[in-house]
């Protein structure tokens, strides 16, 4: 390559870097999100000092005409890493000590909110050390390579309830969750999502089975927002929760609210008509639409169309399906 061509290549690369810097707040691609997030965990950084030194030296660079093509490429790569945006933020502001007859443990209050703007729908859950430990063990079974550099607070025999140990673990668990969320395959995994939602869902479905629809609905409405944030790439996965909300509203004689959440669930199943919830939901929506004076004929047509294509089989009602969820 002659000198003029070489200069022109450097100039074009420099301009591209400037564009990346200018739009540093844009949403990341999955490929970029999947790269390690070095700034997330202090513990991980301490275990990889050479890697940190390299990143720090790259961060100190700035795009200018004195850079070589190789330096510009390295700067560009680093800028792309810095441009990545964490979509959920995990905070552990407080704890409480729980004492039963033969046991005593610490419950960590976890607040989960969306970054980038004021989030009025933050989610609040509580987990204990053994819950984190189980999550870590389960993730190691499936993601041993991704978890290679992830540290976990060790269990100690004494001093678990001192203020110093509790504060250390608060910070460690906060970094731990943020690090896990920074890894695409882990944050999308059922094991990670279950850790954040399953205990609350189990309680809600237990209330539903016991006829405590008001309490079940209260919990489900708190969980559904978090589920939606965690499963954006798989909207069908929250259909059972949406349908449980429909059941609660229907039994509490709130047909308008039941229909609203039914529409949300049905929109997620428009191309998944073989889903176990599709026909029970469709039948419920027809009943609700008729009761509310809405168009039920189009829903009836979809039901008849499905029945014409499928062999007659026993179909559970929507409520029968809901009460079968999360039975241990």
Task: Say if residue 149 is in the same domain as residue 122.
Answer: yes
pLDDT on residue 115: 77
pTM for the full predicted model: 0.72
What is the distance between the alpha carbons of residues 225 and 83, in angstroms, rounded to a whole number? 26
Task: Say if residue 206 is in the same domain as residue 316.
Answer: yes
Task: Say if residue 283 is in the same domain as residue 211.
Answer: yes
Task: Say if residue 176 is in the same domain as residue 220.
Answer: no
Among 188, 214, 230, the domain-final residue is: 188
Residue 8 maps to a domain: no
Residue 43 maps to a domain: no
Q: Which domain holds residue 314?
A: 198-324
Task: Say if residue 210 is in the same domain as residue 313.
Answer: yes
pLDDT category, 134, cuts 50, 70, 90? Answer: very high
Among 124, 158, 188, the domain-final residue is: 188
- SS3 state at 124: strand
Task: Say if residue 102 is in the same domain as residue 218.
Answer: no
Higher pLDDT among residues 60 and 2, named by residue: 2
Domain count, the chain: 2
Q: Are 259 and 294 in contact (CB under 8 A)?
A: yes
Task: Please report, for the domain that includes residue 160, its CATH number.
Answer: 3.30.1520.10
What is the distance between the alpha carbons of residues 118 and 238, in angstroms, rounded to a whole number? 24
Task: Say if residue 235 is in the same domain as residue 216.
Answer: yes
Residue 241 maps to a domain: yes
pLDDT on residue 253: 97
Residue 45 maps to a domain: no
pLDDT on residue 116: 66
| Average pLDDT value for the chain | 80
pLDDT category, 124, cuts 50, 70, 90? Answer: very high
Task: Please report, for the domain that includes residue 207, its CATH number.
Answer: 1.25.40.10
Residue 83 pLDDT greater than 60, yes or no? no
Q: Are 227 and 197 in contact (CB under 8 A)?
A: yes
pLDDT on residue 296: 94
Residue 40 maps to a domain: no
Task: Say if residue 168 is in the same domain as residue 203.
Answer: no
Residue 105 maps to a domain: yes
Task: Say if residue 131 is in the same domain as residue 219.
Answer: no
Helical ranges in the chain per DSSP H: 3-22, 30-33, 42-47, 49-59, 69-83, 129-142, 163-181, 184-187, 190-209, 213-230, 239-251, 255-268, 278-292, 297-309, 318-323
Mean pLDDT of 120-132: 91
Task: Say if residue 203 is in the same domain as residue 182.
Answer: no
Among 188, 207, 237, the domain-final residue is: 188
Of all residues in the chain, the percent with pLDDT exceeding 70 is 71
Summarised one tens digit per residue, pLDDT across range 202-259 is 999 999 999 999 999 999 999 999 999 899 888 999 999 999 999 999 999 999 999 9
Residue 312 maps to a domain: yes
Task: Say if residue 320 is in the same domain as residue 211.
Answer: yes
Summarised one tens digit per residue, pLDDT across range 292-327 is 999 999 999 999 988 888 766 778 999 999 999 998
Task: Say if residue 285 is in the same domain as residue 205.
Answer: yes
Residue 68 maps to a domain: no
Q: Are 217 and 243 in contact (CB under 8 A)?
A: no
Summarised one tens digit per residue, pLDDT across range 24-79 is 333 444 434 444 333 334 344 334 443 443 344 344 344 555 556 655 665 555 55
* C-alpha distances in Å from residue 110, one per residue of 5, 86, 130, 309: 55, 17, 15, 48
């Amino acid at each position: 390559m002659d000198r003029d061509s070489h200069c022109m290549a450097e100039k074009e690369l420099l301009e591209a870097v400037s564009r990346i810097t200018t739009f540093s707040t844009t949403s990341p691609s999955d490929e970029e999100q999947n790269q390690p997030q070095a700034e997330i965990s202090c513990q991980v950084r301490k275990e990889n000092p050479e890697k940190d030194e390299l990143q720090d030296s790259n961060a100190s660079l700035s795009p200018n005409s004195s850079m070589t093509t190789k330096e510009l490429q390295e700067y560009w790569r680093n800028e792309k890493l810095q441009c990545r945006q964490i979509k959920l933020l995990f905070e552990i502001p407080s704890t409480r000590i729980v004492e039963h007859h033969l046991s005593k443990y610490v419950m960590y209050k976890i607040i989960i909110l969306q970054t980038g703007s004021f989030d009025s729908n933050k989610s609040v859950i509580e987990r204990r050390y053994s819950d984190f430990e189980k999550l870590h063990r389960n993730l190691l079974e499936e993601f041993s390579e991704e978890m290679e550099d992830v540290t976990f607070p060790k269990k100690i025999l004494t001093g678990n309830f001192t203020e110093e140990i509790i504060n250390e673990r608060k910070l460690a668990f906060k970094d731990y969750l943020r690090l896990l969320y920074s890894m695409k395959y882990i944050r999308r995994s059922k094991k990670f999502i279950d850790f954040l939602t399953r205990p609350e869902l189990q309680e809600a479905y237990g209330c539903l089975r016991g006829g405590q629809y008001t309490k079940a609905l209260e919990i489900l409405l708190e969980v559904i927002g978090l589920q939606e944030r965690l499963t954006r790439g798989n909207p069908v996965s929250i259909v059972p929760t949406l349908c449980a909300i429909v059941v609660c509203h229907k039994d509490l004689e709130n047909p308008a609210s039941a229909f609203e959440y039914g529409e949300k669930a049905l929109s997620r199943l428009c191309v998944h008509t073989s889903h176990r919830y599709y026909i029970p939901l469709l039948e419920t929506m027809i009943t609700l639409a008729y009761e509310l004076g809405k168009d039920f004929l189009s829903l009836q047509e979809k039901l008849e169309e499905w029945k014409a294509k499928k062999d007659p089989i026993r179909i559970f009602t929507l409520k029968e399906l809901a009460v079968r969820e999360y039975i241990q």
